[in-house]
Amino acid sequence: MSCATGPRTAPGAAPWWKGATVYQVYLRSFQDSDGDGVGDLPGIVQRLPHIASLGVDAIWLSPFFRSPMADFGYDVADHCDVDPVFGTLADFDRLLDRAHALGLRVIIDQVYCHTSDQHPWFRESRQSQTGPKADWFVWADPKPDGSPPNNWQSVFGGPAWTWDARRRQYYLHNFLKEQPQLNGHNPEVEAALLGIARFWLARGVDGFRLDAINFAMHAPGLKDNPPAPPGGPRTRPVDYQEQRFNRSHPGITGFLERLRAVCDAHGAIFTVAEVVGADPVAEMKAFTAGDRRLSSAYGFAFLHAGRLTPGLVAETLGAWPGAPGEGWPSWAFSNHDAPRWVSRWAPPGCAGPFARMAQTLLFCLRGNVFLYQGEELGLSQADVPFEQLRDPEAIANWPLTLGRDGARTPMPWQKAHPGLGFTSGTPWLPFGATHAALAADVQEASPGSHLRLTRRLVALRRAHPALRLGDVRCTVAGERLLVLCREAAEERLVCRFNISESAVDAPCGGVPIWAVNGADGGGRLPPFGADIVGG
């Protein structure tokens, strides 16, 4: 099987972040250093050698800013300070220094769409319709009958409007009522947000992940959202409408250009957008087009997929052909907002071989790789009983959605330790029932472990320009067989995947450089077999 010829990528011209592997740390569940059951910044410092041993390029930290924790840090009360549960600014500086000493870049979350209702900005805004910050959030008068201004629905359930008696108006919140929506159209708000970016850039961070950034601006006319077309799961009121007017305003790209200019003034800063929605590709491309906007963007093509199929991979990669001026995508199979892919995709009894095949696939995609903590161990989704749920979305929609807690349970570091090496206290969420057997110390001692496999895959991607930076062509996307061709400069690689429990014919010729589950570069791939062959 051969690759068609086409344009070549020049590896030497690429910035550090292009084709990078980024390790996501969900702070609350990574490592607790003080016994309160919640992960913290000193705990990350303790485990940085583990992350560095994977060979990844950077770490991405979930929010650690001051917060009432209604949404566990995504409701920010002070963008420029550390919440005491996680440590101090001095702890963050130590983390930054240690990470850099280990060759790791540090990317932090920035939440620019909303704040906490305890943020000083909102406290001032809600006092009066004429005060200095009166227009810093999205306020609207009620309809004549006292009902909300329009039909917009919150992602977490119920109307996206909450009445405030102080102003005798409604305020907008696309998520929790404790997360009032910033008015991204206000130049003073934009200036304040860019000031926050400058604060963290001055401390030495290497990049920003922009949370749900397509919610940063609304349509000022406050028109009703239209009904959603039939089909698709509907477990929340928001699923019944197209979110046409409460997000995705064209003005967002102008803000991103101004943010990019701030970042460029501080060097090679990586910026990646989280784009939420049923059809995010157009916005992902708009946010990353040319050289004046963001470095990259990721959507939920894989994060929300109930099955991994060759067709899904072909369609997703096909939307990013590498046309002139096109941005650079990023891919994640799991994160803190989505159930772990081993549980979503692996057939019963096949978790081990499926995980080896799927992990290989992740590192063969064109774009950046986002590796969520625990993926290097092959962790499955934990089953968290209702009485132990902490996620407000899971509680509100139980039992119709899996929620996010099952992907946020603490990391298992030591099998024999009472707190699995995560804490000396009571963990904020229970451990996954199967996670002790997959603890890092167990896998460190096993040459054939998923942890060892992940390290080899990171090294493989680093060693081969075709995998890190090359073009991609999907040459086969059948019911069970997926074949990708990766090319860069003079290197051509054929990446083959059998996404099924039965052997499949896959004619090929070349020199095998990688194989799992019994694949050997031959003409037949065993169940869940995957290999990479030099062309």
Please report the pLDDT score of residue 401 as a whole number.
66
Rounded to whole angstroms, what are the CA distances from 385 to 279, 396, 414? 32, 14, 24
The residue ranges of DSSP E strands in 283-439, in sequence order, are: 296-298, 328-332, 368-372
As a dihedral over the C-alpha atoms of residue 123, residue 128, residue 132, residue 136, rounded to 10 degrees, the angle is 60
Under 8 Å between Cβ of 27 and 64? yes
Q: What contacts 17, CB < 8 A, 6 or more positions away?
A: 57, 58, 105, 207, 268, 270, 295, 296, 368
Kind of pairing between the strands at 105-110 and 58-61? parallel
Q: 197 is written with which tokens? A: 């970016």
Q: What contacts 416, CB < 8 A, 6 or more positions away?
A: none
Please report the pLDDT score of residue 507 as a whole number.
84
The domain locations on the chain are 19-117+185-460
Name the packing angle between helices 252-264 and 187-203 (round to 10°).
Answer: 30
Distance CA 94, CA 107 (A): 15
Q: What is the pTM of this model?
A: 0.95
Let me know if 325 is exposed, middle or buried by CB neighbors in 10 A (0-12, 13-18, 19+): exposed
Beta bridge partners of 159: 153
Name the packing angle between helices 187-203 and 89-101 (round to 10°).
Answer: 60
Residue 104's closest CA among 24, 30, 176? Answer: 24
Q: 3-state DSSP call for residue 338?
A: strand
Distance CA 123, CA 116 (A): 10
Kind of pairing between the strands at 161-164 and 169-172? antiparallel
Distance CA 111, CA 124 (A): 19
CA atoms within 13 A on the CB side of 277: 23
Let me know if 101 is exposed, middle or buried by CB neighbors in 10 A (0-12, 13-18, 19+): exposed
Q: 3-state DSSP call for residue 96?
A: helix
Which one-letter amino acid corresponds to residue 370?
A: F
Give CA 471 to chain center in angstroms.
23
Distance CA 531, CA 535 (A): 13
Residue-by-residue pLDDT tens, the chain, 535 positions = 444 333 334 445 789 999 999 999 999 999 999 999 999 999 999 999 999 999 999 999 999 999 999 999 999 999 999 999 999 999 999 999 999 999 999 999 999 999 999 999 999 999 999 999 999 999 999 999 999 999 999 998 899 999 999 999 999 999 999 999 999 999 999 999 999 999 999 999 999 999 999 999 999 999 999 999 988 778 889 999 999 999 999 999 999 999 999 999 999 899 999 998 877 999 999 999 999 999 999 989 999 899 999 999 999 999 999 999 999 999 999 999 999 999 999 999 999 999 999 999 999 999 999 999 999 999 999 999 999 999 888 888 777 666 799 999 999 999 999 999 999 999 999 999 999 999 999 999 999 999 999 999 999 999 999 999 999 999 999 999 999 999 998 899 999 999 999 999 998 877 889 999 999 888 999 999 999 999 7
Rounded to whole angstroms, what are the CA distances from 130 to 126, 137, 390, 459? 10, 13, 38, 58
Residue 110 backbone dihedrals phi, psi, to 5 degrees? -125, 130
Distance CA 287, CA 298 (A): 10
Q: What contacts 50, CB < 8 A, 6 or more positions away?
A: 440
| Catalytic status, residue 274 | yes
Is 3.20.20.80 the CATH classification of the domain at 19-117+185-460? yes
Q: Which residue has the tokens 């926050």?
A: 196
Q: What contacts 200, CB < 8 A, 6 or more positions away?
A: 80, 108, 110, 208
Q: 53 is written with which tokens? A: 């041993």
Sign of CA dihedral 2, 7, 9, 10: positive
Distance CA 457, CA 412 (A): 22
As a dihedral over the C-alpha atoms of residue 190, residue 191, residue 193, residue 197, rounded to 10 degrees, the angle is 130
Q: 3-state DSSP call for residue 45?
A: helix
Distance CA 460, CA 464 (A): 6
Catalytic residue among 109, 274, 376, 405: 274
As a dihedral over the C-alpha atoms of residue 184, residue 187, residue 193, residue 199, rounded to 10 degrees, the angle is 170
Helices (H) and strands (E) in the chain — how many of each?
13, 20
Let me know if 448 is exposed, middle or buried by CB neighbors in 10 A (0-12, 13-18, 19+): exposed
Which one-letter amino acid corresponds to residue 377?
A: L
Distance CA 159, CA 174 (A): 9
Please report the pLDDT score of residue 12 as a whole number.
54
Distance CA 249, CA 184 (A): 10
Catalytic residue among 71, 117, 211, 487: 211
Give CA 223 to chain center in angstroms.
30
